Structure 1
Amino acid sequence: MARHRKTLSQNFLHNTAVLRGIVRAAELTPADLVLEPGAGEGTVTRALAREVREVIAYEIDPGLAAALPRRLAREGNVRVVPGDFLRARPPRRPFAVVGNIPYSRTTDIVRWCLAAPALTSATLVTQREYARKRTGDFGSWPLLTVSSWPEFDWRLGPRVARHHFTPVPRTDSALLRLVRRPAPLLPHRELAAYRALVAEGFTGIGGSLGATLRRTRRADRVRAALAAAGIDPDATVGRITPPQWLRVHRALRREG
Structure 2
Amino acid sequence: MPTVLVTGATAGIGAATVRAFAAAGWHVIATGRRKDRLESLTTIISENRVHPLAFDVRDEAALDEALASLPEPFRDLDLLVNNAGLALGTEPAQDAALSNWQTMIDTNITALVSVTHKLLPQLIARKGGIINLSSVAASYPYAGGNVYGATKAFVRQFSLNLRSDLLGTGVRVTSIEPGMVETEFTLVRTGSQEASDKLYGGVNPMTAEDIAKTILWVAEQPAHLNINTLELMPVNQAFAGFAVHRKG
Give the TM-score normalised by the residue count of structure 2.
0.44
Compare CA radii of gyration and give the structure with the larger one.
Answer: 1
Larger RCO (alpha carbons 8 Å, 6+ apart): 2
Larger strand proportion, structure 1 or 2? 1
